[in-house]
Structure 1
Amino acid sequence: MRAFLNWAMQSRHCRRSLSIPAMKVSRRTALSEDERLDALGRLLTDTEMPMRLRVAGVIVLLYAQPVSCIVRLTVDDVIRGGDTVLLRLGEPASPVPAPVAALLLEHIANRDNMTAATNPASRWVFPGRRAGQPARPDHLCVLLNEVGVPSAAGRGAAIRQQLLELPAPVVADALGPQAKTTTRLRNEAGGTWSRYALGDHATSPGGWVPRGTGDR
């Protein structure tokens, strides 16, 4: 609307004395590390909670993924090899700890919205009700918030924790955010990786998994 009104005033399609209020952007404070770990514990153990919300919430809190990206994951992004499960969010794919892997694989085997005649072959990890479409991110955000996992605040907490443990370029490559954003968040979180050498790092640090993924 702001861009349209500016165009209309400059093109003299309306009077040029319109006053456009400044847009206010509110940001919810990121969860504390204790709150993030508590939410992870509930997601991993609460069998009364819908499985898709448990899995989506874990991906937010471990891998700092926005819901708009989570709903675009396909079963091909879940890579299985022996006892190892990887989740392709960036490059290289990120290891999935055993408790989370079990939850993720159970969800994939019993996904919602797969019984419709037009949806039995869906590749989405989170199929939507419309044939061939993933779940709506806005709807999933609301449901996550209702179970105590505010997506933006949870994502902020997750990425800040990873940036305390790893260089911003590694986090950006593995989890997907832009390097510029991770560098800013690293500074806010107090990270100390200023001497890390930029470049092509083909593999994640050996054995790395997002913190807070142990059995609870």
Structure 2
Amino acid sequence: MARAEGTWYLPLLGDFRLFLRLVSERYERRGWRGKRRRFGERTVTSALRSAVRFLSSMDSTVASVQQIDQTALDHFIMRNPGYRNGVRAFVRYLNRYKKLFRKIKVETVNRGIPQGLFLDHKRHAELLGKWLNPDEGSLKESLICVLMLLYAQKVKNVVRLKVSDLLHGRDGVYRVAFGRTEIALAGPVCKLLDRWLVARRALSAVDDERENEYLFPGRTRGSHLTEAAVTYYLNKHGVNAETLFATAIHQAYLNGLKHPKALSRAFGITDFTAIKYLDLINPRLRDEVEKVVSNG
């Protein structure tokens, strides 16, 4: 509290401290004393310390409680991840007792995700490293796997990609419209794609890769690669299409793409599918995103 002397938020902290004291007394009256104590001095001090840290982190242009918004909270947690849980009490207090322009919340990625639904960080990095740096004989399967892992593309969509779907800019970057908007492929993916286009060959002896419109030609003249062939590739690496799809959504969420409309525009998936996977990652988002989607 002493560190907040002379700031606009000192009265706010005073109100919050009083609130915490009342909560602590309420717990004590209900029998939570001694070893059973649940809201003691340590809890109060931690909540106050987190509140001070949060308030002091905001831009100097913020001069009233009404100016506290979600962006300020997100930036604080991003820079101070250790305060994620500590600041929750203050956030709840602001939402309940102060007139914010709009309620704020501490977003949490659910730790109770079904085991095996997403690749863990180590496995994700391992596979991505392998697929972005393949030998010449593994170019095709590596590119297919990368498109599924990074851009949430299902097998049927990948095998039906056409060379004409690729837009090659003067900057050397490839852009692809998986959904309703074009996505600029990441630099390492562009390099992998360049290698595949040079090495690309139609698998049929009577087919000409220049006349086959598909990015991944099949064994029949003018056809694309079969879905069974892709499943074989995935099995070689110990993964399946559902895991890669879910992991792509998970990574997009962790990187800030948390709105179902953004996911559907970028990856070409339905709003329903986006909501389903976001619900697995963070169930607290479900009601909010469904409301936004229903309102268009």
What TM-score does the superposition give when structure 2 sets the normalisation length?
Answer: 0.53
Among residues 59, 67, 73, which one is paired with 2:155 in the alignment?
Answer: 67
- The answer as to whether partners of 1:114 and 1:122 remain within 8 angstroms in 2 is no
The offset of 1:37, in angstroms, is 2.2
Aligned letter for 1:105? D
- Aligned positions of 1:140-155 closer than 5 A: 140-155=230-245
1:54 paired residue number: 142
1:37 paired residue number: 125
Alpha-carbon distance in structure 1 between the residues aligned to 2:175 and 2:140 = 18
Among residues 257, 272, 278, which one is paired with 1:186 in the alignment?
Answer: 278
Aligned letter for 2:233? L
The offset of 1:61, in angstroms, is 0.6
Alpha-carbon distance in structure 1 between the residues aligned to 2:121 and 2:262 = 21
Alpha-carbon distance in structure 2 between the residues aligned to 1:50 and 1:183 = 34
The offset of 1:103, in angstroms, is 0.6
The offset of 1:49, in angstroms, is 5.1
Among residues 158, 162, 165, which one is paired with 2:248 in the alignment?
Answer: 158
Among residues 253, 263, 272, which one is paired with 1:171 in the alignment?
Answer: 263
- Classify the secondary structure of the residue corresponding to 2:168: strand
- Classify the secondary structure of the residue corresponding to 1:89: coil
- The answer as to whether partners of 2:271 and 2:293 remain within 8 angstroms in 1 is no
Identity %: 25
Alpha-carbon distance in structure 1 between the residues aligned to 2:218 and 2:116 = 28
- Deviation per CA, 1:152-177, whole angstroms, max 9, x where unpaired? 21121111221342111111111011
Alpha-carbon distance in structure 1 between the residues aligned to 2:222 and 2:214 = 8
- Deviation per CA, 1:116-160, whole angstroms, max 9, x where unpaired? 333331110110010111000112111222034432211211112
Aligned pairs, number: 174
- Aligned positions of 1:122-137 closer than 5 A: 122-137=212-227
Aligned letter for 2:143? V
Ranked by relative contact order (alpha carbons within 8 Å, sequence separation 6 or more), the top structure is 1
Among residues 214, 221, 229, which one is paired with 1:139 in the alignment?
Answer: 229
CA 1:113–1:149 in structure 2 vs 1: closer, same or farther (change >3 Å)? farther
Unmatched 5+ stretches in structure 1: 1-26, 202-216
- Classify the secondary structure of the residue corresponding to 2:215: coil
CA 1:49–1:189 in structure 2 vs 1: closer, same or farther (change >3 Å)? farther
Do structure 1's residue 105 and structure 2's residue 194 form an aligned pair?
Answer: yes
- The answer as to whether partners of 1:126 and 1:135 remain within 8 angstroms in 2 is yes
What TM-score does the superposition give when structure 1 sets the normalisation length?
Answer: 0.72
Alpha-carbon distance in structure 1 between the residues aligned to 2:123 and 2:264 = 23
Alpha-carbon distance in structure 1 between the residues aligned to 2:243 and 2:250 = 11
CA 1:85–1:75 in structure 2 vs 1: closer, same or farther (change >3 Å)? same
RMSD of equivalent CA atoms: 2.6
- Deviation per CA, 1:72-107, whole angstroms, max 9, x where unpaired? 000111111111211221111111011110111221
Alpha-carbon distance in structure 2 between the residues aligned to 1:161 and 1:147 = 19
The offset of 1:48, in angstroms, is 5.8
Alpha-carbon distance in structure 1 between the residues aligned to 2:196 and 2:215 = 8
Aligned letter for 1:106? R
Higher share in helix: 2
Rg (Cα) greater in structure: 2
Alpha-carbon distance in structure 1 between the residues aligned to 2:139 and 2:117 = 27
- The answer as to whether partners of 1:145 and 1:151 remain within 8 angstroms in 2 is no
Aligned letter for 1:81? G
1:81 paired residue number: 169
